[in-house]
């Protein structure tokens, strides 16, 4: 299995999932015209990774400037897969947002309330 890397575009985020370190990072803007086509390969990779992953910890970092509602659906699906398929205590979620970006802080807290995994909303200075 290879690590997963997808370069950012004006409509899609950068994705860097390192299979060796267990650090999975999604950053940028997510407003693809076809969210399914963008996110399904990511979801497939995560499902395969969790089946063979020998690591004790996996950290999923989100550093998004914006995401549309269809992307939000797939982000929640991605988190749900970690919730249901990872070993207890293995997955940790970190949601980064600029402290003055109330919408992204709120979205992080919203996702946090829906997932039963260690989930930290971290505000940063803009």
Domain positions in the chain are 4-124
pLDDT in tens, 82-97: 999 888 888 999 999 9
Matching CATH number, 4-124, of 3.40.50.150, 3.30.465.10, 3.30.750.24, 3.40.50.300: 3.30.750.24
d(CA 13, CA 113): 23
Judge whether 64 and 72 are in contact, CB under 8 Å.
Answer: no
Is residue 46 scored above 90 in pLDDT?
Answer: yes
| Residue 110: count of CB within 10 angstroms of its CB | 13
Residue 77 to residues 56, 72, 95, 123, Cα–Cα distance (Å): 22, 9, 16, 23
Residues 6+ positions from 44 with CB-CB distance below 8 Å = none
pTM of the shown model: 0.92
């Amino acid at each position: 299995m290879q690590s997963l890397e997808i370069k950012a575009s004006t409509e899609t985020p950068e994705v860097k999932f390192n299979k060796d370190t267990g650090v999975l990072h999604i950053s940028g803007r997510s407003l693809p015209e076809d969210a399914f086509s963008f996110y399904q390969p990511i979801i497939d990779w995560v499902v395969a990774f969790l089946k063979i992953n020998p690591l004790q910890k996996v950290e999923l970092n989100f550093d998004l400037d914006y995401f549309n509602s269809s992307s939000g659906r797939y982000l929640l699906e991605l988190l749900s897969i970690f919730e249901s398929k990872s070993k207890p205590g293995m997955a940790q979620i970190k949601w980064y947002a600029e402290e003055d970006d109330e919408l992204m802080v709120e979205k992080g807290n919203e996702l946090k309330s829906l997932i039963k995994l260690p989930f930290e909303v971290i505000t940063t200075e803009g």
